[in-house]
Structure 1
Amino acid sequence: MPKIAFVGAGSAVFTQNLVGDILSLPELRDDTTFALMDIDPERLRTAEIVTERLIDAHGSKARVEATTDRRGALDGADYVVTSFQVGGYRPSTVTDFDIPKRYGLRQTIADTLGIGGIMRALRTIPVLLDVCRDLEELSPDALLLNYVNPMAMLCWAAGEASSIRTVGLCHSVQGTTAELARDLGIAAEEIDQLAAGINHMAFFLRFEHEGADLYPALRELDPPELNRVRYEVLKHFGYFVTESSEHFAEYTPWFIKEGRADLIDRFNVPLDEYPRRCERQIGEWQALRDELEGGGELATEQSHEYGAHIIRACETGEPYAFNGNVPNRWEEGLLIDNLPADCCVEVPCVASAQGVEPQPVGALPRQLAALMQTNVNVQGLTVEAALTGRREAIYQAAMLDPHTAAELSLDEIASLVDDLLEAHGERIPSPMLTR
């Protein structure tokens, strides 16, 4: 009878997808308790209604509890799903985009790396660690399924500072597998792939169909309009990255440059994409509320998220393979030999009654490891700043960020960091605000 706690359940569309996935599995349908927690009572009530309606739609005997008390939701939890956004779209995300623009620094998503990813991590790591501390006291054997970005930095911090079993979950690998399968005219379930690296910068080391390498066919394709960045990286680095072009464009120094509209046009880079998505998601949430109040039907088809299948595997013992974000140092060795021992990597994993077991992949091609290291540098310094309060590490993280460093001088980067820390104020813990 698992208890699954959702911290940030007010992300109602995501909650709807994952609850629906869980209820679609016969082994979990009737004996599960959903403990929904959010700091926003209005959003929490919407998530509660969504969950109740899904339970009814599946003919389930599952139970639902809703609370604004995080400790109450976590007490006795077997699994914890995190899906919160500290500071919200307004003011925090808007701040992360607007202030860098004054310096001529443009971004697309700003939730994983870059100056926006750094600031989001500084706001979010302390909250995730508060969740972990509650779990250490209340539910020390719980499995934490983290869906919050910046994924690598958050899971790195949790691995350093908490004993709670944590795995970070993303939909990059399965989403890109399906996308490339469509490009090639092949059923996604027929693809045999191996992906590894770091979150949002894992690469397909193997991509095959019926024993045949699909890379030659990929190289022959005309790059789809929305995917020019990734096909360009394939051309120069030899492998296909698992995260989208709009994300990847801001993890490197090559695609977004002030005064270079030719690059933006050539690679179809969607500047300010995340604010547009946030506005759209706010509209979707309002539409969901209106639909619920009007008695509309909820969709019950499965999503492509891993979470429900991991929980089923842990409960039944039937193994489930997926890609997860975990510490590179695992038991007696490294999961990826040529990345730092303390970083967070995204590798194949197997969930079963024994929990989550990552699978070692050996050494990556040297050019891929080198590309990832530029991002790991930023991640590690940001985690250090969050765990120690060392303000200098924030400047150093920003100065080593590939995109930021390609646009701004050292003095400009320091000034930008100061402006952002001041603007975020109390949303970032006080030690990092001290000059």
Structure 2
Amino acid sequence: MMTAPKITFIGAGSTIFVKNILGDVFHREALKSAHVALMDIDETRLEESHIVVRKLMDSAGASGRITCHTNQKAALQDADFVVVAFQIGGYEPCTVTDFEVCKRHGLEQTIADTLGPGGIMRALRTIPHLWRICEDMMEVCPKATMLNYVNPMAMNTWAMYARYPHIKQVGLCHSVQGTAEELARDLNIDPASLRYRCAGINHMAFYLELERKIADGTYVNLYPELLAAYEAGRAPKPNIHGNERCQNIVRYEMFKKLGYFVTESSEHFAEYTPWFIKPGREDLIARYKVPLDEYPKRCVEQLANWHKELEEYKTAERIDIKPSREYASTIMNALWTGEPSVIYGNVRNEGLIDNLPQGSCVEVACLVDANGIQPTKVGTIPSHLAAMMQTNINVQTLLTEAILTENRDRVYHAAMMDPHTAAVLGIEEIYALVDDLIAAHGDWLPAWLRR
């Protein structure tokens, strides 16, 4: 009989996320008896997660055990899989700081977790902690596979494989499979009928091919139908989560201009380019329905909803949830059983996309089986898409160099190269903004930045 894996969650106080991942895990036969090690520095949130996970396990008929840890190395001991999901500095104070300081300097943001000053500061806060996980993994579970869900995904993943190349890791997002479901919903078709090939960088990958299966079993290009639906006003449909602030206009307009649909949401994509958020251009905000300050608003709403959900979970006899779109359980099952699966992951570009920098972090289809996570070669992507991605890779390159070499100058350079920031602020203003952000974050950032 096959033994059961040990699955360690670092940042297990992110209870909603843990619930989604383990809801999937406990419904996979090969993973039902897994040892789940929950680790968080917040004992209250750790206990909340423990309550929810125990009820999830019992409801699914899973037979594994749960251990709770505030010590990271103890949680990682002999792990087979390490799931990482945390936000250093949280919503308060650090996310609020990223938004408020930038706003004082005249720079508006929507999400600020991937690029720009917000993404840069988040990377500087986060990467040292990811490195500590890698260090502990090298010591107590060197053969484990890390499934990293922490943003800014590209910079975090890049910094880890640059410093710890022997750690098996993949950066995971749900934008590829999530957007495919959204587009199927916009066109009133079954998501299972879709076939696609996607490639690029995290939060800026494009469906190079997007097709649907028709009655005779063949596949047809879905792009003409999608464009016609948008131009006729039938797409996009209202936000599935009821968030009226996020209307998805930016992505459809980019689709019209580029001929390919991008994977990440409109509210994200708007701040990765120089075109949608400009001082004194309220007409652009109105025309493209850009939701400024979306992430802080979302955080407040999610925290309120979670407190309500938690009380319901505490009194419920069972917790039954639908399968999520996250890849984690698929990867674990494939690695553990050898049953092959295909996922989209963020990995080092080693001959995968020819016209993006080798060594940069790219998002491509990966075969997963007993041999590990095996990225698939894409080749050359359309030049205009590569050019747009390169503007984002410039920031990622410089920030990764900054933290690997402890070079404060490269932090300024990364901010200078950000397309949105450069469209709004002058060079001296960018330097002043970075200085104020570093001062405001204080001890949340590495000490070398304050030398």
**TM-score, structure 2 normalization:** 0.94
- AA aligned to 2:96 is V
Matches within 5 A, 1:115-130: 115-130=117-132
| Distance in 2, Cα, partners of 1:169 & 1:293 | 30
Q: Distance in 1 between matches of 2:90 and 2:81?
A: 24
Contact 1:328-1:343 at 8 Å conserved across structures: yes
Taking the aligned partners of 2:282 and 2:52, their CA distance within structure 1 comes to 44
**What are the within-5 Å matches in structure 2 for residues 92-103 of structure 1?**
92-103=94-105
* In 2: Cα distance, 1:254 partner to 1:424 partner: 29
Shift of 1:297: 3.9
Query: Could you say which residue in structure 1 is the equivalent of 2:365?
Result: 348
Check conservation: 2:52, 2:314, Cα contact below 8 A: no
Q: Percent identity over the alignment?
A: 54
CA offset digits 1:151-198 (Å, max 9, x no partner) = 000000111000201100100000000000111121111101000000
Deviations 1:365-389 (A, max 9, x none): 0000000000000011111111111
Match of 2:243 in 1: none
Instruction: Choose which of 254, 259, 268 in structure 1 pairs with 2:275.
Output: 254
- In structure 1, what is the equivalent of residue 242 of structure 2? none
**What corresponds to 2:241 in structure 1?**
none
Whole-angstrom distance in 2 between the partners of 1:296 and 1:261: 50
Paired residue secondary structure (2:87): coil
- Matched AA of 2:168: R
For the 8 Å contact 1:96–1:115, the answer to whether it is kept is yes
Aligned AA (1:176): T
Q: Is the 8 A contact 2:5 2:80 kept in 1?
A: yes
Conserved 8 A contact 2:146-2:168: yes
2:23 to 12, 20, 24: 20
1-structure distance, mates of 2:158, 2:314: 41
1:266 maps to which residue?
287
Write the distance in 1 (CA, Å) between the matches of 2:168 and 2:54. 29
- Match among 366, 378, 388 for residue 371 of structure 1: 388
One of 141, 144, 160 as aligned partner of 1:142: 144
Give the match for residue 204 of structure 2: 201
Q: How does 1:199-238 map to 2 (within 5 A)?
A: 199-210=202-213, 211-222=219-230, 223-224=235-236, 226-238=247-259
Which portions of structure 1, spanning 4 or more consecutive aligned residues, are displaced by more than 6 angstroms? none
Aligned partners of 2:383, 2:163: CA distance in 1, in Å? 30
Q: Which residue of 188, 191, 196 maps to 1:188?
A: 191
Query: Does the 8 A contact of 2:248 with 2:265 survive in 1?
Result: yes
Deviation at 1:328, TM superposition (A): 0.3
Letter in 2 for 1:174: Q
Gaps of 5+ in 1: none
Amino acid paired to 1:237: L
Partner residue in 1 for 2:160:
158
Equivalent residue, structure 1, for 2:341: 320
TM-score, normalised by the number of residues in structure 1: 0.97
Query: Which one of 394, 399, 413 corresponds to residue 396 of structure 1?
Result: 413
For the residue of structure 2 that corresponds to 1:186, the secondary structure is coil
**2:216 aligned residue:** none
Give the aligned partner of residue 32 of structure 2: 29
Unaligned residue ranges in structure 2 (runs of 5+): 214-218, 239-246
**Root-mean-square deviation (CA), in Å?**
1.0
- Contact 2:201 2:363 (C-alpha < 8 Å) held by counterparts: yes
Whether the aligned pair in 1 keeps the contact of 2:55 and 2:317 (CA below 8 Å) is no
3-state DSSP of counterpart to 1:251: coil
User: Post-superposition shift, 1:288?
Assistant: 2.8
1:296 Cα offset (Å): 5.7
Cross-structure match for 1:79: 81
Distance in structure 1 (CA, Å) of the matches to 2:108 and 2:272: 12
Structure 1 Cα separation of the partners of residues 416 and 450 of structure 2: 18
Conserved? CA contact 2:59–2:320, under 8 Å: no
- Of 165, 169, 182, 1:179 maps to 182
Deviates more, 1:74-83 or 1:282-291: 282-291
Q: Distance in 2 between the 1:227 and 1:291 partners?
A: 32
Alignment match, 1:168 = 171
SS in 1 for 2:374: strand
Q: Counterparts of 1:281 and 1:68 in 2: how far apart (Å)?
A: 24
The alpha-carbon deviation at position 61 of structure 1 amounts to 0.7
Establish whether residue 287 from structure 1 lines up as the match of residue 304 from structure 2: no
Q: Deviations over 1:251-300 (max 9, x none)?
A: 00001111111100100000000001111221132123312333364232
In 2, the alpha carbon distance for the partners of 1:385 and 1:96 equals: 19
Tell me the distance in 1 between the aligned counterparts of 2:421 and 2:11. Answer: 30
